[in-house]
Amino acid sequence: MRKQTLQSIVRFLLKTLTDTKYYGLENVPKNGGIILALNHLSYFDTPLLLVNPVRADITALVTTKYKEKALIGWFVRSAEGIWINRDVADFSAIQEAAKALKKGLALGIAPEGTRTKTGGLQKAKPGTIMLAVKTGMPIVPVGITGSENAFHEILRFRRPKLTVTFGEPFLIPPVEPRSRSKVLQEWTEILMRKIASLLPNSYRGIYADPEM
């Protein structure tokens, strides 16, 4: 199935089965490489990004463990997603993601690396910041709510309320090699707090810092 066809189907299903709203669309550049860094609640998150109203050219990094799930594997391939093995240093996936960004595409990525089991933000990995440093592309923080219960609500013939909020884009300054590890961790913390600021307190998890 062509990506555009899949997007049309997903857009129709979301409109019919859910109450989905997008906020902060003015923060998403209409063209050029951009990293969309989101909190990861459920399988619903990728479809929500796929049909965002600004960037139809979006792709996403998706863990290879989903390849074993027939429907999700088909969806990711149709959506032209990029598979990444989270259990190893998957340099080929990072190179593919970097190429997509340099072509001017939008790229969705979850800094946490996996879905949260509590609904709250988990400890993030530095991969998103590393990719931003490598490519020089800006990051747009993204906060999603409601998707963790979406399937359950739909099966009970209810329309789940889903929100996707885009924060202001920001750039990572050049990183000195000798302080690389420390700086990557610091910017990862900053990124996650930016994502947390777009979410209700109950979703902020370990980043629910009152000093934010």
Reduced 3-state DSSP string for the chain: CCHHHHHHHHHHHHHHHCEEEEECHHHCCCCCCEEEEECCCCCCHHHHHHCCCCCCCCEEEEEHHHHHCHHHHHHHHHCCCEEECCCCCCHHHHHHHHHHHHCCCEEEECCCCCCCCCCCCCCCCCHHHHHHHHHCCCEEEEEEECHHHHHHHHHCCCCCEEEEEECCCECCCCCCHHHHHHHHHHHHHHHHHHHHCCCCHHHCHHHCCCCC
Q: Is the model's pLDDT at 100 over the cut of 60? A: yes
Question: In angstroms, rounded to a whole number, what is the distance separating the alpha carbons of residues 86 and 194?
Answer: 23
pLDDT of 207 = 95
pLDDT of 135 = 96
CA angle 59, 65, 67 (to 5 degrees): 65
Residue found under tokens 């707090």: 193
| Whole-Å CA distances, 183 to 19, 47, 179, 197, 208 | 39, 32, 6, 21, 21
Q: Is the model's pLDDT at 210 over the cut of 70? A: no
pLDDT of 128 = 95
Q: Which one has a higher pLDDT value, 120 or 209?
A: 120
- Give per-residue pLDDT as tens, 33-49: 999 999 999 999 999 99
Residue-range domain boundaries for the chain:
29-207
- Give per-residue pLDDT as tens, 136-154: 999 999 999 999 999 999 9
User: Across the chain, what does the average pLDDT equal?
Assistant: 94
pLDDT of 53 = 97
pLDDT of 212 = 44
Mean pLDDT of the 175-183 span: 87
pLDDT confidence band for 211 (50 / 70 / 90): low
Question: In angstroms, rounded to a whole number, what is the distance separating the alpha carbons of residues 103 and 117?
Answer: 34
pLDDT of 176 = 85
pLDDT of 137 = 97
- Give per-residue pLDDT as tens, 46-82: 999 999 999 999 999 998 888 888 888 999 999 999 9
